[in-house]
Structure formats: structure tokens, C-alpha cells
Amino acid sequence: MNIINKQIPDVLVFEPKVFGDHRGFFMETWRKEWFLNIGVNYDFVQDNQSKSVQGTLRGLHYQTQHSQGKYIRVLKGEIYDVVVDLRESSKTFGQWLGETLSEENKKGLWVPPGFAHGFYVVSEDAEISYKCTDYYAAEYERTLLWNDPALGIDWPLVDNDVVLSQKDAKGCLFSDCEYYP
């Protein structure tokens, strides 16, 4: 496994070793020791999977309590995955990072607790799997507005098409949202 540090500390990209032949391929997608070896010691308590059609933008979601660290992978299709640092004590507070994840590149993305997370579906459809370090807590869930000009996220929109839930369309501006200490 090749682990790549990104411009926001603690956000990591995992590139697996893929063993393929005429039958298909095999790869390890997650090992606790990979995380322990780089000083990340969380227990994953919940696995989620979602499927979305092209143009769907989910997020940017976070929880004000029971903040979830997430290890995200794409099983089918391609997404542009975005995280925003909401940790007030961080040197990268308010900065965002985007990464293309796909069934082709097989990358995984580690997003530690304290970040808002969302993704945009670039392909015809996409299936995403993610492991979480804490349980979903609806009463603490918040949504940061995906197109807040203060963040300046450069989403790779296909034909300027964005399919949003009502909740995601009404997200808060960065200047008005709750942060982490």
C-alpha cells in the first residue's frame, strides 16, 4: 500500500497494490496496521454504502458531536471527493481538498474527524463505500453549503448539472457554521 500525504495534514490517499491477471484482480483495501503504522488509531464502528447518479452532489456533511473519521472508496464509477477542514485549532482551518476516486484508480481517502465531507458523481453513476469511526447521529448532523464562495471549491461539474437534496441545497455558509475546537 502506498500512502500519500496531501496538502492538508492528516488527510491521506491510499493507493493499493493491485494483483491482476486474465481472471481479474485482487487487492487489500484496508488493514488496521496501515493506520497504526502512521499513528492513526481509530476503531471503525460503521460501514456505509451509497449509490448515486451522475450529477449528484452529496454534502458537505459533518457532525458537531460524534465527529466521524471516514475511509472512503469507490466500488463503481468515479467521484470527485471534497473535504473541508473545520478544526479551528488547525493551521489548515477553512481549507478544502479535492481528490478523484474511482473504480479505475482504486484509491482510498482517509478523512479524520473534524472535516466536512462531500462528493460529486462524475460518471454515469457511482457506488461508494466508507468506513466510519463513530455512529451516524442525525441530531448533530450539519451541512456546509457546497458552493459557498468563501470556500471557492472547484467542483468538476458535468454540463453544470448538480442534483441536490433539499438538505444539501440549504447548507450553511462557512462563516455561519459550527466548527470543531
HEC string for 61-118: EEECCCCCCEEEEEEECEEEEEEEECECCCCCCCCEEEEEEECCCCCEEEECCCEEEE
Domain-located, residue 38:
no
The residue annotated as part of the active site, out of 42, 71, 120, 130, is 130
Domain-located, residue 22:
no
Domain-located, residue 35:
no
Active site residue 22: no
CATH number, domain with residue 93:
2.60.120.10
* Nearest-angstrom CA–CA distance, 149 and 105: 30
Domain-located, residue 26:
no
CA separation (Å) from 14 to 30, 116, 118? 9, 19, 18
Supply the pLDDT for residue 131: 96
Supply the pLDDT for residue 9: 84
pTM: predicted TM-score of the whole model, two decimal places: 0.93
The number of folded domains in the chain is: 1
Active site residue 66: no
Domain-located, residue 52:
yes
Domain-located, residue 70:
yes
Domain-located, residue 150:
yes
The residue annotated as part of the active site, out of 61, 71, 117, 120, is 61
CB 46 within 8 A of CB 93: no
- What is the extent of the structural domain holding 65? 43-176
Looking from the CA of 100 toward its CB, the CA atoms found within 13 Å total 12
Supply the pLDDT for residue 161: 84
- Residue by residue, pLDDT tens for the chain (181 residues) are 889 888 998 999 999 899 999 999 998 888 899 989 988 899 999 999 999 999 999 999 999 999 999 999 999 999 999 999 999 999 999 999 999 999 999 999 999 999 999 999 999 999 999 999 999 999 999 999 999 999 999 999 988 889 999 999 999 999 999 888 7
Supply the pLDDT for residue 40: 87
Domain-located, residue 27:
no
Strand partners, 104: none
